[in-house]
Amino acid sequence: MKDQKIIDQLLQAVGGKENVKNYEHCATRLRIILKNDALLDKKKAENISESKGYFFNTGQHQFIFGTGKVNEVYEAFAQTMGKDGEQQTAFKEDVYSNLTPVQKVVRTLSDVLVPLIPALVTTGLLMGIRGLLVELGVPFSADWYALFEMLTDTAFAFLPVLIAYSATKKFGGNPIIGIVVGLMMVAPQLPNAWAVASGDAQPFHLFGLSISGYQGSIFPAIIVGWLVSKLEKGFRKFVPQMMDLVVTPFLTIVVTLTLVLFALGPILQVAEKAVINGIVYLVQAPFGIGYILYAAVQQLIVITGLHHSLSIIELGLLNTSGENVLQVLGTASMAGQFGAAIAAAFLYRNKVKRSNAISAAVPTLFGITEPLLFGINLRSLRIFASGMVGGAIGGLMTYVFQLAATGMGITFIPGLLLYTGDFGAMLKYIAVILIAFSVGFACVQLQRRKISDELNEETTIEDDLQTLSATEN
């Protein structure tokens, strides 16, 4: 065998053929999961012939052979091990079993939300451009404005539908049922969540509970996907086969929607009120501590989908004092995450992934951060934490400058329009952005080696399986 020497060295390094639990390869690396990691000889692993390096990550011992060569080594390794078709399917499950609980959550979020990034990037850019044009006073007729709203608002208004579809697919359920339940979550018959939050609409009152739509919600839609997949599989165990086509989907949709509207919804409303009250107390903390903490965690609130309720606090601030400090702090939080994302984007070795990461970050300039968060920063807790540090320093500078906006609704670059009446305040606003960005960027650079290893590992097992399939065909 051409690569027999490499295979023999590999088996010696990993503790023998009998210690190999599973194996796979991506574009450049042979990835091996062992039954007992303690049997690995690290010195031998680092000195495999023709290997460009070895590292251990997420339960996988990864040997870098490079494009092309890794295919040869994998085939030789598979021949020695005895190729098992079922083994390749189980690799994904084995990888997940080796992840920590936090890593599993991050990987699951990534697998569900990353496929949505192209749609969010496109509509996010359009939404930012629309907001900027409106603030600049560009005239639109009612028809043209309605058309622009259709382009900009559709993906975000129906975000729970997209997420429910992706989550249901991820968890192994019927994606069409996921879509149906997702559509019911944002049905026009339900009071719009954003309208309820702003006071322009009243929720339904059923069984003593307040019910409204789920526009902009993220986690409820993920839970819907999980519920659909679990319930569908559960009902199928006892529903007669001849009735399965009708009864199983019916029960799955009814039970899922009932749980979402009458159990999950009220819980989220309680959580929402707790978040709002907590934010008020947080911002009022002395010595700028509230500013620092809020700017650090504001993007965490965006991840939960509860950020649309912050407009209530902003309206209250403007009504009582004529100033809105949350606009500056929110921008600082965005700038910190933006700096971390840009630094991380340039750590990708793959040019396509680097370009996609930059594209996902760009909408942040217009105040749209979902593509950045789910496309880049949440793939590594180190990146997200770096962005939080940048936001915190931006919050500190906001306190030092005693800076606050005179309006709401726009952030980042469009937010400059809120400071046109005070050139000094505008310079301070720009300084907050630049400082938060720089700190977030620098924090990633300080961890560049570890973050680079995380990012340049294949982000989803599905990508790896596609690579394997392409090389085998």
Both 212 and 341 in a single domain?
A: no
CA torsion 362→365→370→376, rounded to 10°? Answer: 40
| Dihedral sign from CA coordinates of 183, 185, 191, 194 | negative
**In 3-state terms, what secondary structure has residue 60?**
strand
> Do 302 and 352 share a structural domain?
yes
The reported pTM is: 0.58
In a domain, 90, yes or no: yes
CB within 8 A of 427, min separation 6: which ones?
none
**Coil vs helix vs strand at 62:** strand
**473 — pLDDT class (breaks 50, 70, 90):** very low
402 and 441 assigned to the same domain: yes
Would 123 be classed as within a structural domain? Answer: no
- Identify whether residues 337 and 430 lie together within a single domain: yes
Is residue 460 very low, low, confident or very high in pLDDT (cuts 50, 70, 90)? very low
Domain of residue 325 covers: 99-109+285-459
Query: Among the three residues 242, 267, 282, which one is the final residue of a domain in this structure?
Result: 282
265 Cβ neighbours under 8 A, 6+ residues apart: 209, 210, 211, 212, 214, 220
What's residue 27's pLDDT?
Answer: 67
Q: Is the pLDDT of residue 322 over 80?
A: no
For strands 204-206 and 60-64, give the pairing. unpaired
In a domain, 128, yes or no: no
CATH number of domain containing 59: 3.30.1360.60
Q: At residue 25, what are phi and psi to the nearest 5 degrees?
A: -145, 155
Mean pLDDT of 304-315: 63
Same-domain pairing of 184 and 255: yes
Is residue 380 in a domain? yes
Three-class secondary structure of residue 350 per DSSP: coil
Same domain, 170 and 262: yes
Q: If you average pLDDT over every residue of the chain, what do you get?
A: 82
Consecutive H or E run containing 385? helix 381-401
Q: How many helices (H) and strands (E) does the chain have?
A: 22, 6
Query: Do residue 307 and residue 244 come from a single domain?
Result: no
Total domains, the chain: 3
Q: Which residues contact 222 (CB under 8 A, 6 or more apart)?
A: 109, 112, 163, 164, 167
| 26 is a catalytic site residue | yes
- Indicate whether 119 belongs to any domain: no
**Whole-angstrom distance, CA of residue 86 vs CA of residue 283:** 54
Task: Out of 258, 282, 306, pick the residue that ends a domain.
Answer: 282
Same-domain pairing of 290 and 226:
no
Beta-bridged to residue 274, according to DSSP, are none
With bands split at pLDDT 50, 70 and 90, how would you rate the model's confidence at 208?
confident
Confidence of residue 103 (pLDDT cuts 50, 70, 90): low
Please say if the pLDDT value at position 280 is more than 60.
yes
292 and 236 both lie in a single domain:
no
Do residue 276 and residue 179 come from a single domain? Answer: yes
Q: Is the pLDDT of residue 139 over 90?
A: no
205 lies in some domain:
yes
**Mean pLDDT lowest among 306-320, 384-398, 428-442:** 306-320
Residue 47 lies in a domain: yes
Which residue in 13, 26, 126, 405 is the catalytic one?
Answer: 26
Domain boundary residue, one of 248, 282, 316: 282
- Does any domain span residue 115? no
Higher pLDDT, 220 or 382: 382
* Whether the Cβ atoms of residue 216 and residue 159 lie closer than 8 Å to each other: yes
* E-only strand ranges, 300-385: none
pLDDT of residue 349: 83
321-336 average pLDDT score: 88
Q: Are residues 303 and 391 in the same domain?
A: yes
Q: Indicate if 327 and 269 belong to the same structural domain.
A: no
Residue bearing the bigger pLDDT, 423 or 442:
442
